[in-house]
Amino acid sequence: MRYQCTPLSRRQIRAFAHQIRQTLHLESQLYFPVENFLEVLHELVGDPDFYFEVIPDEDWELSPDVHAFYNVDEHCIFIRESVYEGAANGCGRDRMTIVHECAHVILLQSSGISLTRSFSDNIPAYRDPEWQAKCLAAEIMIPFDLTDGMTAREISLRCGVSKEAASYQLKKRIA
């Protein structure tokens, strides 16, 4: 069983990411400040109960493959300590992981919780909450208008993302 959500196109998500960057006065900044974003996310989404918690790796009770997750009931993003430290030290994968979880918070707050259960594995990407969060995180971290004409390597270095994420975004460029 999987969940579907309100449909969003990449173009809509890109506009939403730009709006988020404008709200944070980051519309002309390439490198997105992930730790600061976590600190102000509760204000951005209007949820005073939202918080994040960094869990020491030795106390992480989930699979080591799970780096962070958003618990809707607790209004909390739980982050493995090594992932948080990696993000603070500029690791692109860890930075994107955290922004991906923040994207879940933002998308749920903006569209409300209107998930639909599906017993089909054929959910279109634009209705898949995981795809939407991945897309929003990438659009926030790799701003379309600021990276035009850059190579994947340049994007990786200047935006602080993995080369894989930069390459993927380049393949998905639409006007």
CA dihedral 115, 33, 23, 53 (to 10 degrees): 50
Q: How many residues does the chain have?
A: 175
Cα–Cα nearest to 155, from 31, 35, 33: 31
Measured over all CA atoms, what is the biggest interatomic distance in the chain, rounded to whole angstroms? Answer: 45
Higher pLDDT, 120 or 17: 17
Inform me whether the pLDDT recorded for 174 exceeds 70.
no
pLDDT value, residue 105? 95
Strand order in the sheet with 76-80: 51-55, 76-80, 68-71
pLDDT band for position 115 (cuts 50, 70, 90):
low
pLDDT value, residue 172? 83
